[in-house]
Amino acid sequence: MTVRIKPACRLTLCIFASCPPDMIRVTFSLLLLSLLSFVSIVTATPPARVTLCSTACPADSDTVGAAYFTTNEPSGNYLVSATIDNNGILAPFEAVYTEGTGAHGVRPDAIGPLDALFSQGSVGVSNTQKFVANVNAGSHTITVFAINGANPASLEMIGQPVSSGGEFPTSLVINEAGNRICAVNGGKVNGVSCYTFVPGIGLIPLENTIRSLNLNQTTPATGPANTPSQIYFSPDETQLIVSVKAGFLAVWDINPDGSLSNNFKTIPGGILPFSLLYVPGKNAIIASDPGVGYDIFDVDTNTTATFEIPGQTLTCWSVYSKESGNFYMVDVGVSTISEVHVTDTLSSSIVKQYTLGTDGPIDSAVASVDKQDFIISLAANATGLTVLHVNGPAAATIHQRLDLAALAEAANLPLHSSNLQGMATFIRK
Ligand SMILES: *[C@@H]1O[C@H](CO)[C@@H](O)[C@H](O)[C@H]1NC(C)=O
Ligand SMILES: *[C@@H]1O[C@H](CO)[C@@H](O)[C@H](O)[C@H]1NC(C)=O
Ligand SMILES: *[C@@H]1O[C@H](CO)[C@@H](O)[C@H](O)[C@H]1NC(C)=O
């Protein structure tokens, strides 16, 4: 059937095969055009790299290291790097596309929109193998980037993103040798999975390492309660530990071939155990705990002590400084960092508190430059970075504040305080 409306107008209705050949050509070209524009809308890939130092990038010779965090944006996750100079001063360098997407957890308690992943450790660094790894919570993948020896803020993706072995990955850990990574998933399909890192190739899944946490969860995760917080290796790398905000640590044994015990044991304690750090020289873990302040898990005796930080609301992150020998507990709710000293007998005290205005610090990491420690915090509420100079025990000072919002806007990089997550550092040896 051919319905000819006007012979002059070629765009008439006809069954394809019965149309005149030039009309088929026109129709075909139009189809192809619309198909192409549809494809380009759907697959509009974010730029691979966004420069953040367009006016003046620091010289390699002035750069001793770098700090890394993610935008964790659902439209495309970027790993952002900043150079660190020998005075511990940061300068944003670039943002590289992870070929993955970020995500934001669901918060029925409506405490606030910051801390999208309810986690510490969404970005990690291997000093030994010189790479950065990050989770992509929206695309359920992990990406690795090689760190450039001359400028550690300059990154190159290794291989392709790999599946996280579950849904909504939120934290990862890298072993000392830099040849093994494990990650924890906090979504509907939750639990851990491990990989071998091969230089130049990337991550290869390790057999018998996908293990469930058996949490009744959703994708994205609903939290912060009842979600995993951080994944960690014991110092001898024979145990894999995950803090769960349901009052326990989950502990798997790691077999010599890297596979994990089928089931995890639990170390109960705390209310909402969050970030994990071993107490140096002890088989004990100090965990921040937004339910109370912090907890100390004595792994040998399977006992836990809980400590209050008066006035705290959301003490979720922590770092350790060798320079001061103390722990720093980061509270986004009251924008405060509490410096905690732990004794040989695992008793502890708050030695000093630092208030950071309305910075709203979340993920943090220490950069040691010439034996001087700098605490670099992702100041989520201020959409920036806040750097503290440790200066020994109970003597930290605010060293630098950096705004990221204006910079990202000028560079056309999607970046929002509610999504920002992760912090890791690398210092050139
Ligand atoms: C999982 O959680 C949902 C929502 O809270 C609840 O309705 C459901 O009963 C839970 N399932 C199990 C097996 O506990
Ligand atoms: C620690 O003790 C609890 C009981 O309080 C027990 O359920 C758990 O299995 C113990 N964990 C280990 C690692 O022995
Ligand atoms: C976040 O910043 C806003 C102003 O930008 C401020 O009103 C609010 O109190 C801050 N929140 C925290 C937790 O510091």
Question: Is 50 exceeded by the pLDDT of residue 13?
Answer: no
320 within 8 A of 339, measured Cβ to Cβ = no
**DSSP states of 281-350 as a string?**
TSSEEEEEETTTEEEEEETTTTEEEEEE-TT-S-EEEEEEETTTTEEEEEETTTTEEEEEEE-TTS-EEE
pLDDT at 14: 41
Render pLDDT for 393-415 as a digit per residue (tens, 0 to 9): 999 999 999 999 999 999 999 99
129 within 8 A of 85, measured Cβ to Cβ = no
Question: Which residue has the CA at smallest separation from atom 4 of ligand 3?
Answer: 358
CATH of domain 47-427: 2.130.10.10
Residues with Cβ within 8 Å of residue 288, at least 6 apart in sequence: 120, 273, 274, 275, 294, 315, 316, 317, 318, 329, 330
Q: Give the residue-averaged pLDDT of 407-426.
A: 97
Render pLDDT for 371-400 as a digit per residue (tens, 0 to 9): 999 999 999 999 999 999 999 999 999 999
Is the CB of 384 inside a 6 Å radius of any atom of ligand 3?
no
**Band (429; pLDDT cuts 50, 70, 90):** confident
Q: Give the residue-averaged pLDDT of 168-172.
A: 99
33 within 8 A of 114, measured Cβ to Cβ = no
User: Which of 302, 303, 304 is the best mutation target for the ligand 2 pocket, counting ligand atoms within 8 Å of the beta carbon and taking the most?
Assistant: 302
Render pLDDT for 14-55 as a digit per residue (tens, 0 to 9): 444 454 455 444 444 444 445 545 444 455 678 999 999 977
Render pLDDT for 92-132 as a digit per residue (tens, 0 to 9): 999 999 999 999 999 876 556 899 999 999 999 999 999 99
pLDDT at 9: 33
Question: Is 90 exceeded by the pLDDT of residue 239?
Answer: yes
Output the furthest CA–CA distance in the chain (Å, rounded). Answer: 96
User: How many Cβ atoms sit within 10 Å of the Cβ of residue 89?
Assistant: 17
Is the CB of 383 inside a 6 Å radius of any atom of ligand 3?
no
**DSSP states of 113-145 as a string?**
S--TTS-S-SEEEETTTTEEEEEETTTTEEEEE
Q: Which of 24-28, 76-80, 108-112, 158-162 has the lowest mean pLDDT?
A: 24-28
Both tokens assigned to 327: 């722990």
Task: Single out the residue of 373, 396, 377 nearest to residue 387, CA to CA.
Answer: 377
Render pLDDT for 269-293 as a digit per residue (tens, 0 to 9): 999 999 999 999 999 999 999 999 9
Render pLDDT for 318-328 as a digit per residue (tens, 0 to 9): 999 999 999 99
Ligand 3 midpoint to CA 96 (Å): 29
| Mean pLDDT, the chain, whole residue set | 91
Q: Which amino acid is at 198?
A: V
pLDDT at 7: 35
3-state secondary structure of 361: strand
Task: Single out the residue of 254, 256, 232, 253 nearest to residue 242, CA to CA.
Answer: 232
**Residue whose token pair is 């304690």:** 269
Is the CB of 381 inside a 6 Å radius of any atom of ligand 3?
yes
pLDDT at 253: 98
CA distance 396 to 385: 16
Is the CB of 360 inside a 6 Å radius of any atom of ligand 3?
yes
Q: Give the residue-averaged pLDDT of 345-361.
A: 98
Q: Which stretches does DSSP call E strand in 216-278?
A: 228-233, 239-244, 248-253, 265-268, 276-278
Exposure on the CB side of residue 251, measured as CA atoms within 13 A: 17
- What is the location of CATH 2.130.10.10 in the chain? 47-427
Task: Single out the residue of 96, 106, 203, 198 nearest to residue 148, CA to CA.
Answer: 96
pLDDT at 98: 98
Q: Give the pairing of strands 49-51 and 123-126.
A: unpaired
Q: Which of 44-53, 189-198, 273-282, 296-305 has the lowest mean pLDDT?
A: 44-53
CA distance 25 to 19: 10
Both tokens assigned to 157: 């993706």
Is the CB of 216 inside a 6 Å radius of any atom of ligand 3?
no
pLDDT at 113: 85
CA distances from 290 to 50, 163, 385 (A): 35, 30, 22
CA distance 329 to 309: 9
